[in-house]
């Protein structure tokens, strides 16, 4: 249980129960905003492992969490301005994401943690970013197109909060605090539409969106051997005036254009503009032929919502539901495509025998067999990375087929006799495992299979686009 005092018009946190291991500090206590963590308030609280700070917080006092040797996770929110001397000395923090609102970090605030280089980089980056402050005005951001009918509810403050949130993550990524899969900036796929929200002190017209030609040089590939996604930066202009810069995450591409389809103005609320924008992307998904078949690109989508969950933008229940749906779609889509492969008899045998056994009313281990099937598909999913691994997956079911015998308690001949199904060619002739070598050679030369492999990647991007649009709305439905 949190302990606090009311000082004037703000609540000050002074500690918590000795048994608390995780605390989430609220934004308000007794109708007062929580604005400060008192000095030495959690000093040497050895059971504390995780702390989440609110958006109302402005200051963390000296020695506030000093000596909390088991404190591993801290989650700051935009709004925090000052971390005083020795505030987190001798904790066990290995990663920290500092908000862009930070103005002062005291001496040795994070001494004894493995984050000193993050703090040094952040301070250095802040000095550099002040030079480009005009390019990062907090007057515009991107919302899902699904909110187009609800723009009357989008205020100046909401736009500012979202802008600070996105740029805070970008700054964290630039300083190495954040890894690529946690970078929650808007996803944009070919043909996607989104809302670009802008507010201004004066009226604007003649809006343009200009893609920064240096985008890929500024951020570039997440990993040298994996260029599946990039962060593309673009400037928004009103006539010749540069209103600022925005970033989106896109599949690897050669060219990008953002076309403004409609401009909606709300002059009754301080010159608010909502631009309906369509993305036209070319050559997406074909950056590196050796890695473009990585199905773990769905982890990009998971990372986006992990960031939102960690920062309390979505609840744990919503986060878990989203992750479960992403996992299901990834595996279900893989199964759908594998069953379309031509010239892989052992794979066809596996899927058809699985269904046959599952439909047998006398078979009692259906739950166990279903789990094995899910595990098999998941292992294939995680192994794919090129056409060669795709080929390997289509001919690697021998162990799985052997599992049918073990779980049914039937030998191969008994299995065939009971279910009247066996490894065979298109004409119904029985095949041996040795026959697979010839089939494999034909498989590699089959243009249909290579096209199927390429189509799958394209379909996955479309699927990610649909899930991104659907799940992004959940952030605003909490």
Contact 109, 84 (CB under 8 A): yes
Asked if residue 264 lies in contact with residue 276, where contact means CB atoms within 8 angstroms, the answer is: yes
pLDDT at 22 over 50: yes
Q: What is the pLDDT of residue 286?
A: 43
| pLDDT number for residue 162 | 87
Nearest to 244 by CA among 155, 386, 142, 110: 142
- Tell me if residue 331 falls in helix, strand or coil: helix
| pLDDT above 70 as % of the chain | 87
User: In terms of pLDDT, which residue wins out, 423 or 49?
Assistant: 49
Neighbouring CB atoms inside 10 A of 334's CB total 19
Angle at the Cα of 451 from the Cα atoms of 378 and 341, rounded to 5 degrees: 50
Q: Give the C-alpha separation, 360 to 400, whole Å.
A: 18
pLDDT of 148 reads 92
* Per-residue burial over 93-116, b = 16 or more CB atoms within 10 Å of its CB, e = otherwise: bebbbbbbbbeebeeebbbbbebe
Cβ-proximal residues to 469 (8 Å cutoff; 6+ apart), any chain: 144, 145, 146, 192
Give all strands of the β-sheet with 241-251 in edge-to-edge order: 207-211, 229-238, 241-251
Coil, helix or strand at residue 220: coil
Residue spans per domain, the chain? 2-130, 137-289, 343-445
Side by side, which strands form the sheet with 255-266? 140-144, 193-199, 272-282, 255-266
Cα–Cα dist 306/324, whole Å: 13
Residue 391: closest CA among 350, 336, 343: 343
Distance CA(333)–CA(298), nearest Å, equals: 12
CA 192/CA 371 separation, integer angstroms? 36
pLDDT level of residue 10 (50, 70, 90 thresholds): very high
Q: Indicate if the pLDDT at residue 13 is higher than 70.
A: yes
Contact by Cβ (8 Å): 88, 110: yes
Query: Is residue 245 a contact partner of residue 135, using CB atoms and an 8 Å limit?
Result: yes
* % of the chain with per-residue pLDDT over 90: 31
Strand-pairing partners, residue 104, are 82
Pairing of strands 2-7, 10-16: antiparallel
Looking up tokens 């749906």 gives 325
Mean of the per-residue pLDDT values for the chain? Answer: 83
How would residue 249 be classed by pLDDT, with cut points 50, 70 and 90?
Answer: confident
Dump pLDDT digits (tens) for 274-304.
999 999 887 544 444 444 555 567 888 888 8
Nearest by Cα to 331 from 460, 458, 228: 460
Q: Which pLDDT score, from 0 to 100, does residue 132 have?
A: 46
Three-class DSSP category at 477: coil
Q: Quick: pLDDT tens for 110-142.
A: 877 888 677 777 766 654 444 444 455 678 999
Highest mean pLDDT among 17-31, 85-99, 260-274, 341-355: 17-31
Residue 346 region by backbone torsions, left for phi larger than 0, else alpha for psi between -120 and 50, else beta: alpha
Centre a 10 Å sphere on the Cβ of residue 37 and count the other Cβ atoms it contains.
27
51 pLDDT above the threshold of 90:
yes
pLDDT of residue 307: 85
The superfamily (CATH) of domain 2-130 is Ribonuclease Inhibitor (3.80.10.10)
Q: Most confidently modeled of 288-302, 378-392, 394-408, 444-458?
A: 394-408
What average pLDDT does range 95-101 have in this prediction?
Answer: 85
**Percentage helix, strand, coil, to 5, in the chain?**
40, 20, 35
358 has a pLDDT exceeding 90: yes
**Whole-angstrom Cα distance, residue 386 to residue 293?**
5
DSSP 96-112: ----TT--EE-TTTTTT
pLDDT at 218 over 70: no
Q: Which of 273, 254, 252 is nearest to 209 (CA)?
A: 273
**pLDDT at residue 281, rounded to an integer:** 80
> How confident is the model over 159-210, as pLDDT tens digits?
888 888 888 887 777 776 777 677 788 888 888 999 999 988 888 999 999 8
At residue 133, the pLDDT reads 44
Residue 303: its pLDDT value, please? 86
**For the chain, what is the largest distance between any 2 Cα atoms, rounded to a whole number of angstroms?**
87
Tokens of 360: 């047998």
What pLDDT, on the 0 to 100 scale, is given for residue 442?
87
CA angle 166-105-14, nearest 5°? 95
Residue among 398, 337, 411, 401 nearest 369 (CA) = 401
User: Measured in whole angstroms, how far is the alpha carbon of residue 286 from the centre of its chain?
Assistant: 21
Asked whether the predicted pLDDT for residue 260 surpasses 60, the reply is yes
Lowest mean pLDDT among 113-122, 221-230, 314-323: 221-230
pLDDT of residue 294: 55
Flag whether pLDDT at 318 surpasses 90.
yes
């Amino acid at each position: 249980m949190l302990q606090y005092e009311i000082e004037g018009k703000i609540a000050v946190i002074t500690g918590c129960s000795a048994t608390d291991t995780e605390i989430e500090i609220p934004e308000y206590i007794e109708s007062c905003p929580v604005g400060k963590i008192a000095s030495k308030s959690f000093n040497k609280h050895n059971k504390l492992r995780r702390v989440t700070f609110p958006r109302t917080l402005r200051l963390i006092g000296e020695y506030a969490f000093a000596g909390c040797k088991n404190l591993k996770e801290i989650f700051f929110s935009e709004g925090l301005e000052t971390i005083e001397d020795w505030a987190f000395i001798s904790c066990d923090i290995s990663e920290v994401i500092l908000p862009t609102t930070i103005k002062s970090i005291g001496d040795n605030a994070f001494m004894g943690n493995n984050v000193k280089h993050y703090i040094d980089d952040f301070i250095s980056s802040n000095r550099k970013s002040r030079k480009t402050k005009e390019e990062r005005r907090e007057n515009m951001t991107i919302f899902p197109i699904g909110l187009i009918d609800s723009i009357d509810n989008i205020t100046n403050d909401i736009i500012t909060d979202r802008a600070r949130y996105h740029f805070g993550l970008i700054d964290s990524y630039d300083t190495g605090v954040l890894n690529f899969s946690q970078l929650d900036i808007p996803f944009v796929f070919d043909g996607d539409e989104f809302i670009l929200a802008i507010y201004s002190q004066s009226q604007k017209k003649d809006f343009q969106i200009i893609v920064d030609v240096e985008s890929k040089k500024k951020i570039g590939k997440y990993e040298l051997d994996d260029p599946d996604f990039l962060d593309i930066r673009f400037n928004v202009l009103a006539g010749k005036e540069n209103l600022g810069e925005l970033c989106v995450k896109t599949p690897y591409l050669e060219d990008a254009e953002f076309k403004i389809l409609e401009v909606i103005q709300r002059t009754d609320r301080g010159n608010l503009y909502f631009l309906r924008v369509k993305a036209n992307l070319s050559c997406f998904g074909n950056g590196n032929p050796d890695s473009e078949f990585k199905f773990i690109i769905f982890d990009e989508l998971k990372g986006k919502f992990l960031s939102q969950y960690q920062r309390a933008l979505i609840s744990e229940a919503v986060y878990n539901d989203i992750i479960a749906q992403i996992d299901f779609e990834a595996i279900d889509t893989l199964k759908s495509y594998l069953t379309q492969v031509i010239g892989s008899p052992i794979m066809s045998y596996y899927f058809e025998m699985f269904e046959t056994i599952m439909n047998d009313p006398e078979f009692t281990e259906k739950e166990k067999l279903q789990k094995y099937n899910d595990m098999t598909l998941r292992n294939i999913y995680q192994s794919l990375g090129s056409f060669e691994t795709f080929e390997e997956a289509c001919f690697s079911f021998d162990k799985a087929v052997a599992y049918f015998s073990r779980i049914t308690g039937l030998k191969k001949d008994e299995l065939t006799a009971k279910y009247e199904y066996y490894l065979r060619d298109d004409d119904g002739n029985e095949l041996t495992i040795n026959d697979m070598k010839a089939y494999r050679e034909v498989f590699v030369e089959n243009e249909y299979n290579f096209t199927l492999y390429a189509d799958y990647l394209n379909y996955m991007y479309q699927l990610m686009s649909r899930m991104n649009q659907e799940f992004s709305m959940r952030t605003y439905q909490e």
